[in-house]
Amino acid sequence: MLIAATSTTARRVPFRGSLCDLPRVISNVYPQIVRFPLILLGLLGELAAADLCGSIRTLVAAESKKQDIPAISVAVVQNNQIACSIAQGWADLEQRVPNTTKSRHRLASLSKPIAAVLTMKLVEEDKVALGDSIRKLLPELPPRYGAVTIRRLLSHQSGIREYSDMSEVLSTRHYSSLEEAARAIFVDSPLLFEPGAKTAYTTYGYTLLGAALERATGQSFKQILEARLPDFSLEDFGTLTPGRVRPYRKSASTRWENAPAFDASNKYPGGGIVSTAVEYANFLIQLSSGRLLRKESVAAMWTRQLLSDGSLVPYATLGWATGVRGDQRYFTHGGLQPGTTTVMHWFPNLGSGSVILCNAEGPDLDGLQERILEIVVGRKPQ
């Protein structure tokens, strides 16, 4: 006899076939019995993901309201999968254009990890080597640049200066190449220290890095980016970019106003790339899963660097900052620019992390990032 279930009771149903039919009946029923736990697990997984996303959505909404952020985009990754993608606010306050998961934000210095991956791709292509002197690729540079290597440019050990004032940050001059930008702005400036002697953060170091990559490939930085990481695009002053958010800053009266325009052609590799939060999260997933670089290339990029005297710089790798949370190493970067604030954390061994982009200059995203990480990877050990 077979038992058939109803919504309230179980009753006996006579088996009306012959015994010869029993194997066929069992073979039809058995796969459903086996599949049920898998279906249940799938449903539980979906419920857990929905609960995680709901919690993060509540956090983002509260923080966005608290800081009056025009638009904020968040992508959360767990186990190398996009677990949650959130977009809130207005991409354009004047036209009331909603921010969406496809809205493209200025990345500011979140561009630097992308430039580091592009460099490692060119190392794999035998176009450059980390130990190459910049003068090997750009021999016309002054002799003092002889000790500046690709590695030292990536790790901020070059001695090249940062912006001298806001006129450089907000420059509207368009440069046809990164080499032209470097020559016009800082190549003739003295180095701040002997290359390799210490670490000093510099976006212009990445401008010179980009000039070297352009010379090594015979391509513009835009072509280098489009050929190897096509999901990203440049913050091009004169080009229409579908989905690009408008940038804002607080006025003296604490109201939002349009951020001043600038041309990013003087800093494409270090601060001139645009992306969605989801695209950047997928970039992190692909990097950890071996789809962008070989395993040894990723290891070389994420190795903490040494100064010339052999001392370790504990927080700096090639293009990424690094730290430890509990027993898990993470890689991170933040960005701040007129009209944008960004932050990213990535835990490669967990395949988990988050990306936060907003179209306003100055909101504090660190607290929100920490609360998201508490949900995704657990509380920071005391």
Element housing 205 (H / E): helix 203-217
Query: Mean pLDDT, the chain, as a whole number?
Result: 90
Q: Are 82 and 74 in contact (CB under 8 A)?
A: no
Q: Report the C-alpha gap between 139 and 348 in whole angstroms.
A: 38
Burial class (CB in 10 A: 0-12, 13-18, 19+), 216: buried
pLDDT by residue (tens digit) across 42-97? 444 454 556 899 999 999 999 999 999 999 999 999 999 999 999 999 999 999 99
pLDDT band at 198 (very low <50, low <70, confident <90, very high): very high
Question: Which is more confident, 223 or 4?
Answer: 223
The distance from CA 362 to its chain's CA centroid, rounded to whole angstroms, is: 19
Helix (H, G, I), strand (E, B) or coil at 322: strand
Q: Look at residue 3 and tell me whether its pLDDT is greater than 50.
A: no
Q: Look at residue 18 and tell me whether its pLDDT is greater than 80.
A: no
Domain spans of the chain? 53-376
Q: Are 297 and 91 in contact (CB under 8 A)?
A: no
Residue at token pair 């509260």:
62
| DSSP code at position 316 | B
pLDDT by residue (tens digit) across 207-264? 999 999 999 999 999 999 999 999 999 998 778 889 999 999 988 777 899 999 999 9
Tell whether domain 53-376 is in CATH 3.30.460.20.
no
Query: Of 105, 360, 104, 106, whose CA–CA distance to 256 is shortest?
Result: 360
pLDDT of residue 6: 32
Q: Are 249 and 57 in contact (CB under 8 A)?
A: no
Q: Look at residue 35 and tell me whether its pLDDT is greater than 80.
A: no
The sign of the CA dihedral 68, 71, 114, 138 is negative
Evaluate if pTM is beyond 0.95.
Answer: no
Around Cβ 215, how many Cβ atoms within 10 Å?
19
pLDDT band at 40 (very low <50, low <70, confident <90, very high): very low
| DSSP code at position 110 | G
